[in-house]
Amino acid sequence: MEVDYMYDFENSIDRRKTDSIKWDVKDNELPMWVADMDFKTAPEIVEAIHEKADQKIFGYEEAGKAYFNAVAGWYEKEHDFRPQTDWMMFVTGVVPAISSIVRRVTSIGDNVLVQAPVYNIFYNSIVNNGRHVVSSDLVFDNLAYQIDFKDLDEKLSDPLTTLMILCNPHNPVGKVWSREELTKIAELCNKHHVKLLSDEIHGDITFKPYTPAFSLDKDLVQNLMVCVSPSKTFNVAAIHAATIIVPNENLREQVSRGINSEELAEPNSFAMPVTIAAYEKGHEWVSELKQQILKNKQLVQEFLAKELPEVKLVPSEATYLLWMDTGAISDDSKELAGFIRSKTGLYLSSGDVYGGNGYDFLRMNIACPISTVKDGLNRLKQGIDMKKESSAK
Ligand SMILES: Cc1ncc(COP(=O)(O)O)c(C=O)c1O
């Protein structure tokens, strides 16, 4: 079905030499790695930035009612549950929030549990703060990932494990955890007195209903902290705006003390207007974005099935990040990604950085015009063919 778009997902802006981390690459290179889209953000957001700039004064600010109501309204409309505004705190990013929470609610030497393969920066937030990573690896079978609840139960039962960091939806495997799965996780955390930190930054680009963890039953959210942000959804990462949602008052006070003493709680001049515009006026833009991503994903599926059948795509329910099983070609994804980049210029994320079985995977960002996806796929085929040839020698 052809979609009649109101917004432009075809023309991208040349971001070379613009201080973009993604596009700081050689002239012949095509970056499809970091979770940063090549689509222009919603024009409603750009308008809000212009309006703010026109005020011509950029003094100190604090997040107020309009900001928190916009967050609550977004979750009510998009995800069928309105979190209370008094559960919320403004913070300058999800990663700063995670690191601060690790420092505030756990002690040096504690274990923090993750589910590998998972967003690599979780490891930094844990290890750089003198805590240990314990992983209850996701089980991979028949191109699908599942939680091994017995293993999770055992690892949470270790008295040294005091925090679990959940990724819902899960980057990089693209899984949207169901209400039943979230309930089981929260029950196990409660049983073992482990606090649960759920990173839900990818919750808006989902292709099946996503359950925000703060919408679970009341007795399951007393140990829970959730981080959300418009940054992935609207490609506004450098605006540095996120919200931490903590239903339990005592825990909320602890987290608040952490982000305030670490100076992470004050918005810059554009953080609030951008978030409010995104959450109040961005519904249609996100709906079209999702259509575009589905189209791009279908193109990749068809291309791989026809041209590169040995590369298997993990069917994903969320995000614009594709998780491709390249285990039939190499079990050293770092070497494979480096080879493809050096031979064809295609820059993908190597799966090994996410831990678990990531050594068998490459991650490809398809939030870009369809012409870029085609270019990326042709380079991928060229790179894999060359790799097979060089391995056969
Ligand atoms: C799961 C996850 N959390 C957090 C972030 C980054 O969050 P922020 O830019 O708000 O620090 C990313 C970016 O890719 C991510 O994938």
Looking at 280, 304, 331, the residue that finishes a domain is 280
In this structure, are 116 and 228 located in the same domain?
yes
Which of 120-130 are b and which e, b meaning 16 or more Cβ less than 10 Å from the residue's Cβ? bbbbebbeeee
- Residue tagged 């559960």 (tokens): 87
In this structure, are 185 and 298 located in the same domain?
no
Predicted confidence (pLDDT) per residue in 160-175, tens digit: 999 999 999 999 999 9
What does the alpha-carbon distance between residue 54 and residue 339 come to, in Å, rounded to a whole number?
48
Residue 134 Cα to chain centre, angstroms: 20
In this structure, are 383 and 316 located in the same domain?
yes
Which of 5-38 are b and which e, b meaning 16 or more Cβ less than 10 Å from the residue's Cβ? eebebeeeeeeeeeebebbebeeebbbbbebbbb
User: Is residue 320 one of the residues assigned to a domain?
Assistant: yes
In this structure, are 72 and 38 located in the same domain?
no
Ligand 1 centroid to Cα of residue 390, in Å, is 36
**Helix and strand tally (H, E) in the chain?**
12, 15
Tell me what percent of the residues of the chain surpass a pLDDT of 70: 99
Q: Averaged over 100-108, what is the pLDDT? A: 98
Predicted confidence (pLDDT) per residue in 334-383, tens digit: 999 999 999 999 999 999 999 999 999 999 999 999 999 999 999 999 99
- How much is the pLDDT for 122? 98
CATH number at residue 329: 3.90.1150.10
CA distance to 294, 364, 365, per residue, from 297 (Å): 5, 10, 10
Task: Confirm or reject: Cβ of 161 under 6 Å from ligand 1.
Answer: no
In single-letter form, the type of residue at position 271 comes to A
In this structure, are 275 and 301 located in the same domain?
no
What does the alpha-carbon distance between residue 75 and residue 61 come to, in Å, rounded to a whole number?
24
Per-residue confidence band for 255, with pLDDT thresholds at 50, 70 and 90: very high
CATH number at residue 93: 3.40.640.10
- Residue tagged 């918005």 (tokens): 267
- How much is the pLDDT for 62? 96
- How much is the pLDDT for 5? 81
What does the alpha-carbon distance between residue 324 and residue 358 come to, in Å, rounded to a whole number?
10
Q: Which long-range contacts (CB under 8 A, 24 or more apart) does 23-30 make?
A: 25/345, 25/347, 26/345, 28/345, 29/341, 29/345, 29/346, 29/347, 30/345, 30/346, 30/347, 30/372, 30/375, 30/376, 30/379
In this structure, are 273 and 326 located in the same domain?
no
Query: Does the pLDDT of residue 18 top 60, yes or no?
Result: yes
Task: Confirm or reject: Cβ of 349 under 6 Å from ligand 1.
Answer: no
In this structure, are 34 and 69 located in the same domain?
no
In this structure, are 273 and 354 located in the same domain?
no
Decide if 349 contacts 314 (C-beta within 8 A): no
- How much is the pLDDT for 2? 60
Looking at 280, 305, 321, the residue that finishes a domain is 280
List the single range of 4-13, 36-45, 98-107, 299-308 with lowest mean pLDDT: 4-13
Query: Does the pLDDT of residue 290 top 80, yes or no?
Result: yes
Task: Confirm or reject: Cβ of 231 under 6 Å from ligand 1.
Answer: yes
User: Is residue 118 one of the residues assigned to a domain?
Assistant: yes
In this structure, are 144 and 199 located in the same domain?
yes
Per-residue confidence band for 105, with pLDDT thresholds at 50, 70 and 90: very high
- How much is the pLDDT for 3? 61
In this structure, are 336 and 349 located in the same domain?
yes
Kindly give the number of the ligand 1 atom that is closest to the alpha carbon of 95. Answer: 11
Task: Confirm or reject: Cβ of 271 under 6 Å from ligand 1.
Answer: no
Q: Averaged over 270-275, what is the pLDDT? A: 98
Predicted confidence (pLDDT) per residue in 122-146, tens digit: 999 999 999 999 999 999 999 999 9
Ligand 1 centroid to Cα of residue 238, in Å, is 11
What does the alpha-carbon distance between residue 336 and residue 333 come to, in Å, rounded to a whole number?
5
- How much is the pLDDT for 392? 80
What does the alpha-carbon distance between residue 388 and residue 367 come to, in Å, rounded to a whole number?
28
Q: Where are the alpha helices (DSSP H) in the chain?
A: 43-55, 65-79, 94-105, 121-127, 149-156, 179-191, 231-234, 249-261, 271-281, 283-307, 333-344, 370-392
Contacts of 361 (CB under 8 A, 6+ apart): 117, 172, 314, 323, 324, 325, 326, 327, 333, 351, 354
Across the chain, mean pLDDT equals 97
Q: What is the CB neighbour count within 10 angstroms for residue 160?
A: 13
Q: What is the domain count for the chain?
A: 2
Q: Which domain holds residue 348?
A: 30-43+283-392
Looking at 252, 280, 308, the residue that finishes a domain is 280
Ligand 1 centroid to Cα of residue 94, in Å, is 6
- How much is the pLDDT for 168? 98
